[in-house]
Structure 1
Amino acid sequence: MDRIIIEGGIPLQGRIQVSGAKNAALPLMAATLLTDQPVELSNVPDVADVNTMQRLLQRLGTASTMQAGAPGTLRLQTSSLMSTTAPYDLVRKMRASVLVLGPMLARQGEAIVSLPGGCAIGTRPIDLHLMGLERMGAVIELEQGYVKATAPKGLKGAEIKLPQPSVGATENILMAACLADGDTTILDAAQEPEIVDLAALLNAMGAEIDGAGTAILRIRGRTSLSGASHRIIADRIEAGTYAMAAGITSGQLVLQDVRALHLGVAAERLEEAGLLLEDTADGLSVRTANGGLKGVDVMTRPFPGFATDLQAQFMALMCLASGASMITETIFENRFMHVPELARMGARITVHGGSALVRGQARLTGAPVMATDLRASVSLVLAGLAAQGPTTVNRVYHLDRGYERLEEKLRGVGARIERSG
């Protein structure tokens, strides 16, 4: 099993090209099921989750090819659905596979999708997805680990109020509503940039969507959608991760194709913590201020709040800050699994339920650690970049789900980091 070995203590210097957003690419790929015409996506990240979604779509009948001479450009066309079953062997690898449910149901009137898997960071139920589809007239049954959904007379537009913003539920309902009969309104919709990107593609395909990026989405159903071309937005989670890599190593990086506003509240918290963020002509410059890192409290919230996908990385950063910080996780109930591993490197962290008190200190020490999920994995890499002595991160297959060429990008800015089989 692969592992990553890091020799820390080197300030990172240089430029990093931020990849396309994995969390945008996956729903965009699922949306191509809504049409029989070709859809071309560019800036597609080469990560394991995208490859898993590509295999799933191929199983359903999608012709999917990377364009020769255009790295990161993926052409997808589902002339007809050869199957409406998303099997366990693929869906178990990645929770986002459930996003094929809404498009298949809207186009074909039926869908059978395994209950999803992915990182072990909590239950992450899909009840809100199912509630929204039921409001549109779907009949849902759960049987032997599968969601069986039918809409023999098609889906109908409806008003759907989510109990709380859910990115996945918003995406599934939004896609299904594009081919529903009548108008659909989603209240308390998720507002993440990835939702805005999905709506942009769907509108380019001929959908009528208003309100993307706000809490109220309005969709006018169409009888069919066409093909389109679309460039995927930059990955704000990758950008935030590399911004913290600059901070934790006292380095300076320019993150290409990124702006501070892409990070939302995280940009404000990073500046409070002692990082200097400056938009430049081609990206975001990040370095540590003269006063060094300072402890800052954060609480994860739906966008535009502090992203749960940056919580583990921020905790690693706070391990080397002056003073204490309180980090509160409100999205997933089991997302502190990186704490014992950081403690192996000398971090002083005390967990109280959904909050972790981090007492900053002058240094961390390299150690063998084990990754438990995607974002926890990269938090250990950040800690290793700053630690004295070698750090070995085991079970790094989690990293490959969401970070494109991580070691290559870090080596390009001075890190001593290698992968070993």
Structure 2
Amino acid sequence: MDRIRIVGGGKLNGTIPISGAKNAALPLMIASLLTPETLILENVPRLSDVRMLKRILGNHGVDVTVNGKRPGDAATDGEVVKLNAAEIVDTTAPYELVSQMRASFWVIGPLIARMGEAKVSLPGGCAIGTRPVDLLIMALERLGVAIDIEGGYVIARAPKGLRGGEIVFPKVTVGGTHTALMAAVLAQGTTLIRNAAREPEVTDLAECLVKMGARIKGIGTSELEIEGVARLGGARHRVLPDRIEAGTYAFATAMAGGDVQLQGVQPHLLQAALDKLAEAGAEVTPNNEGIRIRRNGAGIAPVDMTTEAFPGFPTDLQAQFMALMTRAGGTSRITETIFENRFMHVQELARFGARIRLEGDAAIVEGTETLKGAPVMATDLRASVSLVIAALAAEGETMINRVYHLDRGFEALETKLGACGAAIERIRA
């Protein structure tokens, strides 16, 4: 199993190109099931989750092709992926595939909308709480789908097609909104989705569906109105830049010190995180190329933070922010409101000498002047990269084990950080 070795203490200086967003690419790829025509996606990141989803879609009969590199393409340029679901050959998503990536459960929406049936395994994924699919199932039932759960599978049937309805989510759910949106676009009549997730990745999916011929009002708001159509066509769409990757490298720059240009990111996609970064003492400057992050000489100030649905501070940056706060000049309080059990990185950060105690849904971080390198183990995708951030500022060597978690969500991490002066290398198994 691969490991990553980091020798801390150096500053980061240079430019980091931001890849396409994993959390946008996955539902966009799944949307290819909605049409017999070809969907072309640009700027798709090269990640293990993307590779797994290609395999899952292939199991349903989707023909997936990837354009090779062209002259002038940089090593970090995303892929151009063509997906054609002219004929869906299987409406079952088996346990051995879905259990490896919970986002693949979302195929249930397009399959039931287009084929009138679907059998999808209950999902697995990162061990950061139960993240139940009850809200996704509720949304489908509001559209006339009959649901049974047998032997660990959700069996969905709508032999006469879907019909529009009103879906009111009791809490904001990105997965539920994705699923409801992809099902409703082919339903008969009008669907209203209330308390819809407003995350940029949801907006990106909606905008792509419109290119495919869907009729959607209220994009970017918490209330979506979808007028169903009989058929969707092909389209060409560029995946938006990854705000979580951008925030991660912004926190890494603030942690290590230095001056880094984050290329291609859209500041409004992560404004809440940038505001907290500025509070902590980093200099944040939006420009035509993206965002410039600088911290030279000044210390890190303690900042309290609470995770919230967009446009609030994203839960997927909580672990990275906690790593930064371990070296703040004082005490900070980090409250997690989205996922339970999302503090598993605490015990690994403690191995660096971080001082963190848990109080229910909050972590109290007492900043320390010095962290020391240590062998650590990644527990989930976002937690793993918090260890990278800590290691960049720690004295001596850190060895990060189980880095396959990193490969699920961060493209060319060692290359990008290494180009900015980090002493980082992957040790192949």
Instruction: Using the TM superposition, give the Cα deviation of residue 417 of structure 1 relative to its aligned residue in structure 2, in angstroms.
Output: 0.7
Deviations 1:377-409 (A, max 9, x none): 000011001100000111111001000011111
1:259 CA drift (Å):
3.0
- Structure 2, unmatched stretches of 5+, are 71-77
What is the TM-score with the length of structure 2 in the denominator? 0.97
1:291 aligned residue:
298
**Distance in 2, Cα, partners of 1:189 & 1:289:** 41
Q: Distance in 2 between matches of 1:336 and 1:195?
A: 26
Shift of 1:291: 3.4
Q: Measure the CA separation in 1 of the matches of 2:346 and 2:298.
A: 26
Moved more, 273-282 or 142-151: 273-282
Rounded to whole Å, the distance in 1 between the matches of 2:143 and 2:4 is: 47
Q: Secondary structure at the match of 1:294?
A: coil
Are 1:264 and 1:303, in contact at CA under 8 Å, matched by a contact in 2?
A: no
SS at structure 2 position matched to 1:358: strand
Q: Secondary structure at the match of 1:392?
A: strand
Residue pair 1:279, 1:285 contacting (<8 A) in 2 also:
yes
2:160 paired residue number: 153
| 1:16 aligned residue | 16
Q: Show the counterpart of 2:66.
A: 66
Deviation sequence 1:264-285 (CA, Å, 0-9, x none): 3111111111111111221110
Secondary structure of the residue that 2:79 maps to in structure 1? Answer: coil
Shift of 1:261: 1.5
Q: Which amino acid aligns with 1:319?
A: T
Give, in angstroms, the shift of residue 99 of structure 1: 1.0
Residues 21-420 of structure 1 aligned to structure 2 (within 5 Å): 21-69=21-69, 72-288=79-295, 291-420=298-427
Shift of 1:292: 2.1
1:68, distance to aligned residue in structure 2 (A): 2.6
CA deviation digits over 1:114-157, x for unaligned, max 9?
Answer: 11111100000010000010011000011111110000111100
- Quick one: distance in 1 between partners of 2:121 and 2:271? 34
Q: What is the CA–CA distance in structure 2 between the aligned matches of 1:171 and 1:10, rounded to whole Å?
A: 41
Rounded Cα–Cα distance in structure 2 between residues aligned with 1:87 and 1:328: 36
* Aligned positions, number: 421
8 Å CA contact retained: 2:241, 2:266: no
Displacement of 1:289: 6.2
User: Structure 2: which amino acid aligns with 1:83?
Assistant: D
Residues 160-181 of structure 1, C-alpha deviation per residue, up to 9 Å, x if partnerless?
Answer: 1000110000000000000000
- State how far apart, in whole Å, the 2-side matches of 1:213 and 1:125 are: 24
| Separation (CA, whole Å) in 2 of partners of 1:19 and 1:373 | 20
Distance across 2 between alignment mates of 1:297 and 1:290: 22
Residue identity in the other structure for 1:63: D
Report Cα offsets for 1:305-363 as digits up to 9, x if no partner: 11000000000000011111000111111100000010011000001111000001111
1-structure distance, mates of 2:238, 2:282: 30
Partner-residue secondary structure (3-state), 1:286: strand
Give the partner amino acid of 2:388: V
CA contact (8 A) 1:276 1:289 kept: no
C-alpha distance in 2, partners of 1:248/1:69? 34
Report SS of the residue matched to 1:265.
Answer: helix
Task: Kindly state the Cα deviation for residue 288 of structure 1 after the two structures are TM-superposed.
Answer: 1.8
Runs of 4+ in 1 over 4 A off after TM superposition: none
Q: CA RMSD in A?
A: 0.9
Counterpart Cα distance in 2 of 1:140 and 1:17? 44
CA contact (8 A) 1:260 1:277 kept: no
Deviations 1:29-52 (A, max 9, x none): 000100000010000000011111
